[in-house]
Amino acid sequence: MSTIEELYGEDEVFTRENAADALFAIGKIPTAVDIATFWKDKKKEPDETISREELIELSNTLKDGEDALREAFKVFDKDGNNKITKDELKTFLQAADVYGGGMGDEDGMIDQIFKDANIDTTDEEGEEGANNAGLDVDEFIRMITKKIFNTELLAD
């Protein structure tokens, strides 16, 4: 994984948005709260920028992405069997009120997440990626990082 020093020049400045992108590029997973808190602590307005040195400072306050995702996995894995089932994911998303107003699975989103993320199982009908057993931590990490890098970073 590259470092901020390798990717960005000394005179580079960062908005909130491109600071998050830069942090993702070096394997950190900042939240909007992490970014906003850093700006506030630095007494910066939301539209102000930070320097490369300040970005390095922010980076040093964040966990590596994989470590953070391993901790997040434990939140989903309610029964502690090192697998996230469809029901565990659905329960978590509903409790977190994802997308506001409650979240069902009318559109098959959870099935699609499992199908896309799974690489090692096939269901009784021979459908690859069906994953009736659940996602293990490595599949979970691949799924999340794939979503981050394929949607958030490439959306610009």
135 residue type, one letter: L
> What is the pLDDT at residue 95?
67
Pair 142, 81 in one domain: yes
Pair 91, 109 in one domain: yes
42 band by pLDDT with thresholds 50, 70 and 90: very high
Pair 82, 126 in one domain: yes
Sorted by sequence, the CB contacts under 8 Å of residue 1 that are 6+ apart come out as 26, 27
Q: Is the pLDDT of residue 156 over 50?
A: no
Domain limits for position 130: 66-152
* Four-point Cα dihedral 42, 47, 148, 65, nearest 10: 0
**What is the per-residue pLDDT across 64-88, written as a single tens digit (0 to 9) for each?**
777 778 888 888 888 888 888 888 8
Pair 83, 135 in one domain: yes
Pair 58, 75 in one domain: no
> What is the pLDDT at residue 44?
96
Pair 93, 116 in one domain: yes
Residue with the larger pLDDT of the pair 51 and 91 = 51
Q: Is the pLDDT of residue 132 over 90?
A: no
From 22-36, 72-86, 133-147, the region with the lowest mean pLDDT: 133-147
- CA–CA separation, 10 and 90 (whole Å): 45
**What is the per-residue pLDDT across 77-117, written as a single tens digit (0 to 9) for each?**
888 888 888 888 777 767 655 545 444 555 577 777 777 77
Using alpha carbons, select from 104, 103, 134 the residue that is nearest to residue 117: 134
| CATH number of the structural domain spanning residue 98 | 1.10.238.10
Pair 137, 71 in one domain: yes
Q: How many domains does the chain have?
A: 2
Pair 92, 133 in one domain: yes
Rg, the chain, Cα only: 18
Pair 85, 117 in one domain: yes
Using alpha carbons, select from 94, 138, 88, 86 the residue that is nearest to residue 112: 86
Pair 42, 85 in one domain: no
Pair 107, 120 in one domain: yes
The residue-averaged pLDDT of 36-64 equals 94
Pair 89, 116 in one domain: yes
DSSP state of 128: B
